[in-house]
Amino acid sequence: MNWQSIRVVMIKDIKEIGKNLQFWLPTVLVPLIMAVVLPVVVSLIFSRAPLNSLNTGSWNAMFKRMPEALQNVFAGMTQRQAMVFIFANYLFKPFFLIIPVMVASIIAANSFAGERERKTIESLFYTPVSDLELLMGKVLAAFVPSVAVSWLAFAAFVAAVDATSFPLFGRLILPTVPWVLLLALLVPAVSFLSLAITVLISARVRGFQEAQQIAGALVVPILFLVFGQVIGLFILDAGAILAITVVLAVLDYLLVKIGAQTFSRERVITQL
């Protein structure tokens, strides 16, 4: 295993995607909205707006549906505090899975389908870099930025929420253990799954745009997490996060096995 080659391939892919506006728009704008703009607006509304202008009825109904353990969490909080706490700790979690899905799939679509479409991938095949090194370089090129953007977005989110909610709580409410688990375990697992699926899609489509559009469907299961929580089907607590991580890790493992066995120069070149 030649690490210089892996690193060079990775940096090359990142440099290339960095020159693409189609990458910057979603990777900066979307996290900015999800991690800063939206939380600040929501936090300010919940902590400042007059109570009767909020739909307290539906909030009360939701509290009652919550499991006992969760109701204990809110014991001693004012309704306002509970509402801020809920959005900061639960409702926003799925958004932090949308970010890695998006970033990982855009980069992977570019560096697999895109390189094939632009007729550059064959250039790499004539170098002494092995199939596995090539694959690893390209996987890391999508994985590392995906996790890094998610973590940066989370740091911004923590700062935004704590800054706007401090007057209400008199303490910092983020980060919490489930959040840290989500960022440390689930975000990498989701990033990997998303890029691996995009690699598989890339082998079967004509180009970057098509790969990216199909990979866009990966957001759907996350929307399920968003609405599942809103209607009180489940909540993303530490247990749920760990459980989802385990499932995704198994899927990741299977995809790695398939990918490492099927990614070869010969296969890619005969599909050119």
Partner 1 sequence: MGYAIETDGLAKTFAKAEALKGIDVRIPAGTIFGFLGPNGAGKTTTVRLLTGVLKPSGGQARVLGLDAAADSTEVRRRIGVLTETAGNYERLAARDNLVIFGQLYGLKKVAAVERAGELLKFFGLEERAMERVETFSTGMKKRLLLARALIHEPEVLFLDEPTSGLDPEAAHHVLELIKGLCVERRRTVFICTHNLDEAQRLCDTVAVIDAGRVLAQGTLKELEEKLWSRAEVVVELEEVNARVAGAVSNFAAEGRGIETAAGREAGGSEGVAAAAAAANILRIPLRSHEQIPDLVAEIVRAGGRIRAVQPVKHSLEEIYMKLMGGGGDELAKH
Q: Which of 60, 180, 198 is nearest to 141 (CA)?
A: 198
DSSP 267: H
Taking the least distance from each CB to partner 1, the nearer of 80 and 265 is 265
Element (DSSP H or E) covering residue 179: helix 177-181
Q: Which of 141, 73, 110, 117 is nearest to 215 (CA)?
A: 110
From the list 50, 55, 75, 266, which residue makes contact with partner 1 (rule: CB under 8 A)? 266
Q: CB neighbours of 194 closer than 8 A, spacing ≥ 6?
A: 100, 101, 104, 105, 108, 146, 215, 218
CA distance 207 to 117: 5
Taking the least distance from each CB to partner 1, the nearer of 58 and 126 is 126
**Shortest Cβ 31–partner 1 spacing (Å):** 23
Rule CB under 8 A: say whether 8 interacts with partner 1: yes
Rule CB under 8 A: say whether 16 interacts with partner 1: yes
Rule CB under 8 A: say whether 261 interacts with partner 1: no
Element (DSSP H or E) covering residue 240: helix 238-262
**Shortest Cβ 207–partner 1 spacing (Å):** 15
The sign of the CA dihedral 256, 257, 262, 264 is positive
How many residues line the site for partner 1 (CB under 8 A)? 26
| Contacts of 49-57 spanning 24+ positions with Cβ under 8 A | 51/79, 51/80, 54/83
Site for partner 1 in 112-151 (CB under 8 A): 118-120, 122-130
DSSP 176: -
Taking the least distance from each CB to partner 1, the nearer of 9 and 82 is 9
From the list 12, 45, 62, 74, which residue makes contact with partner 1 (rule: CB under 8 A)? 12
**Shortest Cβ 124–partner 1 spacing (Å):** 7
**Shortest Cβ 95–partner 1 spacing (Å):** 30
Site residues for partner 1 per CB under 8 A? 4-5, 8-9, 12, 15-16, 19-20, 118-120, 122-130, 265-266, 269-270, 272
